[in-house]
Amino acid sequence: MDHDHVREVDPKVADALESEVDRQRSTLQMIASENHASRAVIDAQGSALTNKYAEGYPGSRYYGGCEYADEVEELAIDRAKELFGAEHVNVQPHAGTQANQAVYFAMLEPGDKILSLDLNHGGHLSHGHPANFTGQLYEVEQYEVDPETGYIDYDGLAEHAAEFEPDIIVSGYSAYPREIEWERIQTVADDVDALHLADIAHITGLVAAGVHPSPVGVADFVTGSTHKTIRSGRGGIVMTSEEFADDIDSAVFPGGQGGPLMHNVAGKAVGFKEALEPEFEEYAAQTVANAEALGESLSDHGFSLVSGGTDNHLVLADLRESHPDTSGGDAEDALEEAGIVLNANTVPGETRSPFDPSGIRAGTPALTTRGFDEDDCRTVGDLIARVVDAPEDESVIAEVRDEVRRLCDENSLYE
């Protein structure tokens, strides 16, 4: 992957870009929201469409010269409709957060009520955290996972909703390893006359491939990021029914955004085409099988997994019992030194700080893209355990680093 044109102008940035490619090639990317987009998606995102202003929607733009922008956006929309079976799709949100913002802006007034999952239990900042605009503009209460099982406490959610009477219930999570029961949440929303936003940011690819049940046609709104498990261009997406189509479109533009990032929309179109191929279904199924294998391996090494395992692309380990003297941050740092990049994460019942929480979250989307199978992921579990068992032992870290290099060489990337 060369950056010759950048190098001619700016060798410092070219060096950083090349170092980043090397970093991704030679280390294990296990941040659950990350993936390795194809060269086709990367080329589309690095295209001349970055120059184009296309405010508005296909066939109805505020500027001339939009014929190719229209073509690309229509392809992205049609492919997303086919992938998800959605009636209406908006592919312009700059990110998953902006997709959520569009739904809130379209449907809520300041002071309206949001009921969403607590951040420490797997929720997301854009679901009502005080540091996010949602926590400042709306009245927010939060539901939790069952402390015994780690699964969403659906009965608790129903009771909470009956008491709080929210205007919108948000489902879909950042650090929740289990299948989400959309219909159950929809019933709760119907019972209290609330809207339902299902945010599939993390599992967009799993839903598209049919390896996780879909909330499309169940929830009123489905939002997502387009660069995580679905591995397409970077950004967000909103799906809804014809009933809310105009509200959502005006909330994205001009409500919350200016000109769409048309180069990213092109990346979405290309990535969605890839996701319509039968191989993508295999990829998504392998991602889940790999996460299961990783989880089994970590459990065998004594790690305590929130909910006891996984149904999707990620595992969340609570280190408090198995490694009481090691915080999530300590583990993250030592693992990064060994070439395994994942993130410290809060866990249900968190007792440390959000800046240095008690858990680690590990995902398999990027490893699976570069060809890892269940055996490889069991080996990765062994390596993670070796490092977290001895986070200050430089010789262990050096040995694991060598093993990581071997795994990376066997599963090459961007050759």
Beta strand ranges found along 167-324 (DSSP E): 168-171, 195-199, 221-225, 236-240, 304-305, 314-318
Q: Site for ligand PLP (CB under 6 A): which residue of 126, 214, 290, 310?
A: 126
Q: C-beta of 136: minimal distance to ligand PLP in Å?
A: 17
Q: By C-alpha distance, which of 320, 234, 217, 240 is closest to 45?
A: 234
Q: Is 391 in the site for ligand PLP (CB under 6 A)?
A: no
- The DSSP annotation for 312-359 comes to SSEEEEEHHHH-TT--HHHHHHHHHHTTEE-EEE--TT--SBTTB-SE
Tell me, what amino acid is at 246? D
Tell me, what amino acid is at 212? H
Q: What CA–CA distance (Å, rounded) separates 342 from 52?
A: 36
Q: Is 95 in the site for ligand PLP (CB under 6 A)?
A: yes
Q: Is 115 in the site for ligand PLP (CB under 6 A)?
A: no
Are 328 and 356 contacting, i.e. CB atoms less than 8 angstroms apart?
yes
**In this structure, what is the dihedral angle of CA atoms 278, 281, 286, 289, given to the nearest 10 degrees?**
-140
Residue with smaller CB distance to ligand PLP, 172 or 365 = 172
**In this structure, what is the dihedral angle of CA atoms 116, 117, 119, 123, given to the nearest 10 degrees?**
-90
Residue with smaller CB distance to ligand PLP, 238 or 340 = 238
Distance in Å from the first CA to the final CA of the chain: 8
Q: C-beta of 343: minimal distance to ligand PLP in Å?
A: 10
Q: Site for ligand PLP (CB under 6 A): which residue of 33, 132, 186, 232?
A: 33
Q: Is 346 in the site for ligand PLP (CB under 6 A)?
A: no
Q: Site for ligand PLP (CB under 6 A): which residue of 120, 132, 174, 297?
A: 174
- The reply to whether omega before 58 is within 30° of 0 (cis) is no
Residue 228 token pair: 């995580």
Cβ-based neighbours of 158, under 8 Å, separated by 6 or more? 188, 191
Q: How many residues bind ligand PLP (CB under 6 A)?
A: 14
Letters for 254-283 (x = contact with ligand PLP by CB under 6 A, - = none) are: ------------------------------
Residue with smaller CB distance to ligand PLP, 172 or 391 = 172
- Residue 241 Cα distances to 44, 127, 169, angstroms: 29, 21, 17
Among positions 184-213, residues that touch ligand PLP (CB under 6 A) are 199, 201-202
Q: Site for ligand PLP (CB under 6 A): which residue of 104, 173, 244, 303?
A: 173
Q: Is 96 in the site for ligand PLP (CB under 6 A)?
A: yes
Letters for 210-229 (x = contact with ligand PLP by CB under 6 A, - = none) are: ---------------x----
Q: C-beta of 176: minimal distance to ligand PLP in Å?
A: 9
Q: Is 236 in the site for ligand PLP (CB under 6 A)?
A: yes
Q: What CA–CA distance (Å, rounded) separates 201 from 205?
A: 9
Q: C-beta of 309: minimal distance to ligand PLP in Å?
A: 20
Q: C-beta of 395: minimal distance to ligand PLP in Å?
A: 35
Q: Is 3 in the site for ligand PLP (CB under 6 A)?
A: no
Are 255 and 106 contacting, i.e. CB atoms less than 8 angstroms apart?
yes
- Give the pairing type, strands 60-61 and 359-363: unpaired
The span of 132-140, 170-178, 351-359, 395-403 binding ligand PLP (CB under 6 A) equals: 170-178
Q: C-beta of 127: minimal distance to ligand PLP in Å?
A: 7
Residue with smaller CB distance to ligand PLP, 65 or 354 = 354
Q: Is 320 in the site for ligand PLP (CB under 6 A)?
A: no
Which residues of the chain form contacts with ligand PLP (CB under 6 A)? 33, 95-97, 124, 126, 172-174, 199, 201-202, 225, 236
